């Protein structure tokens, strides 16, 4: 952002409109809010959330193929399955906070998930989970076991410019 604020903003908006928003819609996600380079999305299915995250990260690998490292935009994605509170179209609670903290633990181009997400998706998707141990997350009462998701060609190449995305999930009814 510091080297090319307008260009970075334009590239981010292009990624959002060409890849991220269409993938969220395709996988049944509901955009809750966005601020700067962060967005919060709710899914009724944790499997759908994972499929969306994998599609986004794979899409970003392709979109960054011919982009110089210092101009790449890479996303960090945190996924949690947990209870939430709904208030005037927004969502709150530990389920959302854990997703945001998992995103912060990710490397650029990566996906980090909670133990519950791993349990709910383990044999349903062609991914591998690397145990990153238990972490005490800010404003979360109990430690959370964190897993890094590998989906084929590794999570993604790393680069200097990273954006973030946190995905939370509301339990299905």
* CATH code for the domain in which residue 57 is found: 3.30.70.1230
pLDDT in tens, 80-100: 998 888 898 889 888 899 999
pLDDT value of residue 26: 97
Q: Kindly state the tokens that stand for 118.
A: 């791993």
DSSP-derived letter for residue 7 is: H
Query: Domain tally for the chain?
Result: 1
Contact (Cβ atoms closer than 8 angstroms) between residue 84 and residue 91: yes
Opening angle at CA 72, ends 61 and 23, nearest 5: 45
CB 168 within 8 A of CB 95: yes
Beta 162-169 vs 74-79: how paired, if at all? Answer: parallel
How confident is the model over 19-48, as pLDDT tens digits? Answer: 999 999 999 999 999 887 789 999 999 999
Distance CA 110, CA 123 (A): 20
Distance between CA atoms of residues 56 and 72, nearest Å: 14
> Over 50: is that where the pLDDT of 118 sits?
yes
| H or E element in which residue 76 lies | strand 74-79
The range of the structural domain enclosing residue 82 comes to 5-169
Mean pLDDT to the nearest integer, 150-161: 48
Give the tens place of pLDDT for each residue, 122-146. 899 999 999 999 998 988 889 999 9
pLDDT at 160: 27
């Amino acid at each position: 952002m510091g080297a090319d604020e307008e260009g970075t903003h334009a590239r981010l908006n292009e990624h959002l409109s060409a890849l991220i928003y269409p993938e969220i819609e395709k996988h049944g996600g509901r955009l809750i809010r966005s601020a700067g380079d962060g967005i919060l999305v709710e899914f009724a299915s944790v499997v759908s959330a994972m499929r969306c995250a994998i599609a986004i990260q794979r899409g970003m690998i392709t979109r960054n193929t011919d982009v110089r490292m210092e101009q790449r935009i890479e996303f960090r994605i945190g996924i949690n399955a947990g209870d939430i509170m709904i208030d005037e179209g927004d969502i709150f609670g530990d389920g959302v906070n854990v997703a945001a903290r998992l995103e912060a633990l990710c490397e650029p181009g990566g996906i980090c998930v909670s133990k519950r997400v791993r349990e709910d998706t383990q044999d349903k998707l062609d991914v591998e989970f690397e145990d990153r141990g238990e972490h005490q997350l800010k404003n979360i009462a109990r430690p959370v076991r964190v897993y890094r998701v590998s989906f084929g060609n590794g999570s993604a190449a790393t680069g200097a410019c990273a954006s973030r995305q946190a995905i939370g999930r509301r339990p299905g009814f």
